[in-house]
């Protein structure tokens, strides 16, 4: 119940615990660097697994999909995540799909950071209807027109992809090690 400071300095103050919180219609697991230690956290994966049993929608954005995998929720399911971790999803039994948003039944996963907006609009359309999602899109003025075609490894120049892979190598190696170790878990 103590405040938690994120990697960017944001302070989050918990109001409940894994044991005392209720059930939710939507379970959304965010990604980012902070997800990595949770991949080996039995309490966190157990919480996610329990919530998924009753949630109407089980969702993730970016590398949050890895925690869904660690909780045993991706086996035999189609899913996506950030491009740098996409190849780790099959280690959890998932069919990795390189798309911005992937839906498989009540499982909805979003790709990397900006795909989170596409994911949010998709989920909003499911819950509140297409008109509500379109109104939100308009309010955000969300009409992407990126100045470069470098948003995926397929479109980015090879030198940029290589530089980015080097920059992500440490976290990538840590995550891959955790995922491979967890393959012995009964949930994967």
Which residue is listed with tokens 């995550």? 175
Task: Please say if 28 is a catalytic residue.
Answer: no
Distance CA 178, CA 158 (A): 28
Catalytic: which of 21, 28, 62, 188?
62
Distances (CA, A) of 176 to 60, 78, 180: 19, 19, 6
Count of alpha carbons within 13 Å of 182, Cβ hemisphere only?
Answer: 29
Distance CA 120, CA 62 (A): 12
**Residues designated catalytic:** 62
């Amino acid at each position: 119940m103590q405040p938690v400071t994120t990697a960017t300095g944001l302070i989050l103050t918990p109001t409940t615990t894994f044991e005392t919180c209720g059930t939710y219609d939507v379970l959304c697991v965010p990604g980012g660097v902070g997800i990595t230690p949770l991949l080996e956290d039995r309490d966190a994966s157990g919480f996610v697994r329990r919530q998924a049993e009753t949630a109407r929608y089980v969702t993730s954005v970016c590398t949050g999909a890895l925690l869904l995998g660690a909780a045993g929720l991706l086996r035999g399911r189609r899913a996506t995540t950030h491009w740098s971790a996409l190849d780790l999803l099959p280690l959890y039994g998932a069919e990795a799909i390189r798309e911005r948003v992937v839906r498989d039944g009540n499982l909805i996963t979003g790709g990397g950071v900006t795909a989170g907006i596409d994911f949010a609009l998709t989920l909003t359309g499911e819950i509140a209807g297409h008109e509500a999602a379109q109104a939100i899109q308009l309010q955000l003025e969300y009409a992407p027109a990126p100045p470069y075609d470098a948003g995926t490894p397929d479109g980015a120049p090879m030198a940029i992809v290589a530089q980015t892979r080097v920059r992500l190598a440490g976290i990538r190696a840590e995550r891959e090690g955790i995922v491979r170790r967890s393959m012995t878990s009964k949930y994967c």
